[in-house]
Amino acid sequence: MSSNNQILLTSVGSYLPKKKISNDNLAKIMDTSDEWIKKRTGIKFRHFVEDNELTSDMGTNAAEQAILNARLKANDIDLIIVATTTPDNTFPSTASKIQRNIGCKAISFDVQAVCAGFVYAISIGASMLKDGYGDKCLIVGADSMSKILDWNDRSTAVLFGDGAGAVILEKTTAVNEFVHNDKWGILATKIFTNGEYYDLLNTDGGVSKSKSTGFLRMNGKEIFKHAVEKLSSSLLMCLEVSNMDIRDIDWFIPHQANQRIIDAVSNKIKIPQEKIISTISIHGNTSAASIPLALDVATKKGNIKNGNILALQAIGGGLSWGSLILKIGKPS
Ligand code: UT7
């Protein structure tokens, strides 16, 4: 392993299912209101898959876009890591299905870290590329959360949406290794798990527990507190590792779970509001897809540019959480 290897994030893609669901649509089937949902979460819309639309279908669409944007072919991909909580089948991995769909022979597997899955998958992918498992890695975050929601539980059913996002990681030897502070790609990652909080956010069933998938259950108030503390602390650790200050970050892309969590983290560690990418109002919480979806929206708008420093922050069931800092794109 060469210490000069840099792991660049060179391309993004995303996919949203066509069916767009407003808060008013939900208020027709449960005791809730547009006013409550907007005020308590910031969510206005979310997208849901059709019954016959699979997590792998969304992931494949996002992956194909990311591969195209990177000017690569599917065959160039050496490694596929899919972060998902809602796989097509109990086994094999959704990554195997996406591999088949896009047509390549990459090493392919899923990562289960719920809403933190995308940050986990990038950390794992970057380490594997450094360790010699190939030069190009496709990371997909894809979830069909609508399929594990209990429509009788208004405290969770209004929060989630479906979608997929994908990025390409590419290994390269350091281009400007002698130029001070001109490192590109993944600059710092910190990921954590604490199983003591297993019961705060989980499904009430599973293969070995009930031979079923179960429905999503959450202690929202407790998760809210952990989210604010852990999203903040993991990002501060990344800043320390990369010898950076919060002012060095161009864009913050937090997990999109609740606008109030995003605002509380911003107040706690003094993140300027105008540097935060928030898509919670149009996507809801799409679990592992939330960060790459937001990244793609901001990239397509032209907000995020080659060479910008990004901070990503995520937390989900487990509890699993983490942050990472990267310089997006590649030196020209
Ligand atoms: O992706 C993983 C990370 N997930 C999260 O980070 C989610 C974290 N938690 C949250 O975002 C918030 O805790 C929620 C949005 C889930 C809930 O917000 P809250 O301000 O903590 O509300 P609450 O649970 O304290 O409920 C307040 C009231 C209750 O009524 P009473 O007991 O005060 O009469 C609830 O029954 O709001 C009621 N309520 C609703 N009312 C209308 C709960 N859900 C709804 C609803 N519509 N959908």
Give the residue with greater pLDDT, 183 vs 234.
234
The closest-lying atom of ligand 1 relative to the alpha carbon of residue 290 is: 1
Q: Which of 72, 55, 143 is nearest to 106 (CA)?
A: 72
pLDDT value, residue 2: 41
The token pair at 91 is 């086994």
Please state which CATH number belongs to domain 188-327. Answer: 3.40.47.10
Q: Residue 184 Cα, ligand 1 centroid: separation in angstroms?
A: 40
pLDDT value, residue 76: 98
Distances (CA, A) of 83 to 207, 219, 291: 19, 23, 11
Name the DSSP class of 113: -
**Residue among 36, 38, 155 whose CB has most ligand 1 atoms within 8 A, to mutate:** 155
pLDDT value, residue 178: 52
Q: May I ask the CATH architecture of the domain 3-177?
A: 3-Layer(aba) Sandwich (3.40)
pLDDT value, residue 173: 76
The token pair at 182 is 């001109």
- pLDDT interval class at 324 (50, 70, 90): very high
The token pair at 137 is 């890695």
Residue 317, number of CB atoms within 10 A of its CB: 24
The pLDDT > 70 percentage for the chain reads 96
Q: Residue 284 Cα, ligand 1 centroid: separation in angstroms?
A: 14
> SS3 of 127, please?
helix
Give pTM, 2 decimals: 0.96
- 158 in contact with ligand 1, CB cutoff 6 A: yes
Q: Residue 220 Cα, ligand 1 centroid: separation in angstroms?
A: 6
- pLDDT interval class at 128 (50, 70, 90): very high
DSSP string of 170-206, one letter each residue: EEEE-SSTTSTT---EEEEEEEEE-GGGGGGEEES--
Average pLDDT, the chain: 96
The token pair at 42 is 């910031």
- pLDDT interval class at 55 (50, 70, 90): very high
Over residues 41-59, the mean pLDDT reads 98
The closest-lying atom of ligand 1 relative to the alpha carbon of residue 221 is: 13
Give the whole-angstrom CA distance, residue 119 versus residue 48. 23
* Number of residues that make up the chain: 332
- pLDDT interval class at 116 (50, 70, 90): very high
Q: What is the CA radius of gyration of the chain?
A: 19
Over residues 106-122, the mean pLDDT reads 98
Give the side-chain half-sphere CA count within 13 A for 95: 25
Can 3-177 and 188-327 be said to share one CATH topology?
yes
**Residue 78 in contact with residue 132, Cβ under 8 Å?**
no
- 27 in contact with ligand 1, CB cutoff 6 A: no
**Residue 241 in contact with residue 190, Cβ under 8 Å?**
yes
The closest-lying atom of ligand 1 relative to the alpha carbon of residue 223 is: 8
- Going from N- to C-terminal start, the domains of the chain cover 3-177, 188-327
Catalytic residues: 115, 255, 285
**Residue among 224, 279, 283, 320 whose CB has most ligand 1 atoms within 8 A, to mutate:** 224
The model's pLDDT over 141-189, given as tens digits with 9 standing for 90+, comes to 999 999 999 999 999 999 999 999 999 999 997 665 555 567 899 999 9
Q: Residue 40 Cα, ligand 1 centroid: separation in angstroms?
A: 7
234 has a pLDDT exceeding 80: yes
The closest-lying atom of ligand 1 relative to the alpha carbon of residue 115 is: 1
Tell me the residue type at 93: S
1 has a pLDDT exceeding 70: no
The token pair at 302 is 């032209």
- 313 in contact with ligand 1, CB cutoff 6 A: no
Residue 285, number of CB atoms within 10 A of its CB: 23
Give the residue with greater pLDDT, 173 vs 216.
216
- 261 in contact with ligand 1, CB cutoff 6 A: yes
3 has a pLDDT exceeding 70: no
| 185-193 and 162-173 beta bridge pairing | unpaired
Give the whole-angstrom CA distance, residue 135 versus residue 68. 17
pLDDT value, residue 107: 98
Over residues 120-138, the mean pLDDT reads 97
Give the whole-angstrom CA distance, residue 182 versus residue 172. 14
**Residue 311 in contact with residue 251, Cβ under 8 Å?**
yes
- pLDDT interval class at 7 (50, 70, 90): very high
- 319 in contact with ligand 1, CB cutoff 6 A: no
